[in-house]
Amino acid sequence: MTSLAHTVNDIAVVAHRNVIKITRVPEVLVFVLLSPIMFVLLFAYVFGNSINIEGVSYREFLIAGIFAQTVAFGATFTGAGIAEDMQKGIIDRFRSLPMSRSAVLVGRTLSDVIYNVLSLIIMSLTGLLVGWRIRGSILEALGGFLLLITFAYALSWVMAYVALHVPSPEVINNASFMVIFPLTFIANTFVPSDDLPGPLRTFAEWNPVSSVTQASRELFGNIPAGTPEPTAWPLANPVIYTLIWSVVIVAIFLPLSVNRYSKRAKG
């Protein structure tokens, strides 16, 4: 119990350190918040009048996709932050202290949830301005936001593991862009997966980004009554599929990251 209490305290200290860092580097926070606003306005006004989806306003269809894309890219802040700490030798300082090995990584991932929460708040307000509405219940909407945060938290462990293998924050940014960009576009984020050709449609239907997007649309009430039920299992059961992916990702990459952190810091 004492060991658990010490671990929890170490996690809280590291998370607090990262939260303080957010307030001391406001420029990063500004760009984090401007990016989702730019995406919402760009797709709503530039593509909104060109893309027609039968039975639904494109702006209502769009917002859940923007949410999913933004929280996916938000996971890169975890990777970049860890890579920066490794580069500056801060991790070595943590290693010299009598603290839990997992505390540094868990504290980092938990504190970075703040970025995604703030992004979702800003995107929601921007979405309301361009015509998006939550047409489900408050509890369902909160469930949608919580699911997005859960999925983003899981992805942050993937980025943490990658960050422990690269020499600088610039590498993690480039590497994550090459993976997350196609992952968020070969999905139902901006167009229905039914509109994609053969293999791309199959990939999109089983893509977890599609399931978290579909789940968000359902929980926000942005899928009109009478819309045909998706035939692919992940899109017909998007909440369960997203939770399965989130649990599996954390179960795999949390221990891998902690193990890699111990070896990298010693080296």
Q: Which domain holds residue 20?
A: 2-266
Residue count of the chain: 267
Q: What are phi and psi of 41, to 5 degrees?
A: -65, -40
Q: What is the pLDDT of residue 1?
A: 40
Per-residue pLDDT tens digits for 62-118: 899 999 998 998 888 888 888 887 777 777 777 767 777 778 888 889 888 888 888
pLDDT at position 237: 97
Of 74 and 252, the one with more pLDDT: 252
Q: What is the pLDDT of residues 125-137, one digit of tens each?
A: 989 988 899 998 9
Of residues 146 and 96, more confidently modeled = 146
Q: What average pLDDT does this structure show over 133-155?
A: 95
Predicted pLDDT of residue 264: 61
> What is the reported pTM?
0.90
Q: Which of 155-164, 211-220, 225-234 has the highest mean pLDDT?
A: 211-220
> Torsion angle of alpha carbons 112, 167, 255, 67, nearest 10°?
30
Phi-psi region of 226 (alpha: psi -120 to 50; beta: other; left: phi over 0): left
Q: Specify the number of domains making up the chain.
A: 1
pLDDT of residue 2: 45
